Amino acid sequence: MKKYIAESFGTFWLVLGGCGSAVLAAAFPDVGIGLLGVSFAFGLTVLTMAFAIGHISGCHLNPAVSIGLWAGGRFPANQLLPYIAAQVIGGLVAGGVLFLIASGQAGFDVSAGFASNGYAEHSPGGYSLLSAFITEVVMTMMFLLVIMGATDERAPKGLAPIAIGLCLTLIHLISIPVTNTSVNPARSTGVALYVGGWAISQLWLFWIAPVIGAILGAGVYRYIGSEDK
């Protein structure tokens, strides 16, 4: 149970820190942090939580990561559903807290996006469904490759959180213009349910594509990371 609680709190921090930076600080007059700041915010949430709860739950914070680690032989199948449930709950609670904070500003309009992920007319750069799908699959694939490599027992000890946090930062630097960057179904769900409408109707992509990418990344690492006999 402590593992599941840790995953909820970790995912809460990821969604509040990452999406909160996008909603509250990205375009703040004169001192907005912009896409670079949002990218680092997401990376820092994972880096800080990896040090805080990595030794408790493994700090997945992401259903796609849990599924990918299972596919890579690093995580038991009987814990998948509880982990995913804990992550989604943490994301939803964070979305609710962020909504309460953001709605305190005059003129706040949740339908404007609320850091939701989208494609076509809801892509920040107007990218198509195909572009969004490819982006989410490839970015999540590379994320899992880095996660599995950095946490391999042969890798330098104690540095995995830094590699994983910086990888997520890089992923956001690349893909925010395409989909607003998901690579994490819990992150997408945590804000989409408060937006409703188009955000929910497009949410399927941000479950399916990251899961496919995670399984691919895990498969690649199982092959290239296996020791020759």
pLDDT digits (tens, 9 = 90+) for 12-24: 999 999 999 999 9
- What confidence tier does 113 reach under pLDDT thresholds 50, 70, 90? confident
In this prediction, residue 60 carries a pLDDT of: 95
In this prediction, residue 163 carries a pLDDT of: 96
Domain ranges of the chain: 1-225
For 56-65, the pLDDT digits (tens) are 999 999 999 9
For 150-184, the pLDDT digits (tens) are 999 888 888 999 999 999 999 999 999 999 999 99
Rounded-to-integer distance, Cα 77 and Cα 62, Å: 15
In this prediction, residue 122 carries a pLDDT of: 95
What tokens were used for 57? 């739950």
pTM of the model: 0.92
Is residue 139 within 8 Å of 171, Cβ to Cβ? yes
- The stretch 179-208 carries a mean pLDDT of 96
CATH code linked to domain 1-225: 1.20.1080.10
- The stretch 181-196 carries a mean pLDDT of 96
Whole-number average pLDDT of the chain: 93
What tokens were used for 159? 């540095």
Find all residues with CB under 8 Å of 72, minimum gap 6, and list them: 144, 148, 218, 219, 221, 222
In this prediction, residue 31 carries a pLDDT of: 67
| Choice among 48-52, 82-86, 105-109 with the minimum mean pLDDT | 105-109
In this prediction, residue 1 carries a pLDDT of: 87
- The stretch 191-212 carries a mean pLDDT of 96
Whether 229 has a pLDDT exceeding 60, the answer reads: no
Whether 119 has a pLDDT exceeding 70, the answer reads: yes
Find all residues with CB under 8 Å of 214, minimum gap 6, and list them: 64, 65, 67, 68, 71, 140, 141, 143, 144
- Where does residue 226 rank: exposed (0-12), middle (13-18), buried (19+ CB within 10 A)? exposed
Q: What percent of the chain has pLDDT over 90?
A: 85
Q: Would you list the DSSP string of 100-122?
A: HHHTTSTT--GGG-TT----GGG
